[in-house]
Amino acid sequence: MAVLRDYVNAMIGFQSLEKRTQIPVKSLMRMLGPKGGLSAANLSSILTALQKVEGVQFKLSLRR
């Protein structure tokens, strides 16, 4: 999650992400921290917000 945290810091900031996801800044920072517990729902909200802001599309694929 360190990479995602760094990306948020560099690109949109936690304040902006809070507004877009309705997740408090402190919770976002904790979730994306070294001991964070990120649920699938929160990860989806964060990635959706980043996709809209950055104009990118994330793709999930499974490896065997």
17: CB partners within 8 A, 6+ apart: 8, 23, 25, 28, 46, 49, 50
pLDDT band at 51 (very low <50, low <70, confident <90, very high): very high
**For 32-43, what is the mean pLDDT?**
91
Q: Where are the domains of the chain?
A: 2-54
* CA–CA separation, 1 and 37 (whole Å): 10
In order of 15, 23, 33, 34, the CA distances from 57 in angstroms are 22, 21, 23, 25
pLDDT band at 37 (very low <50, low <70, confident <90, very high): confident
The alpha carbon of residue 17 and the mean position of all alpha carbons in its chain are separated, in whole angstroms, by: 8
Whole-prediction pTM value? 0.83
Residue 43: both structure tokens together: 């990860």
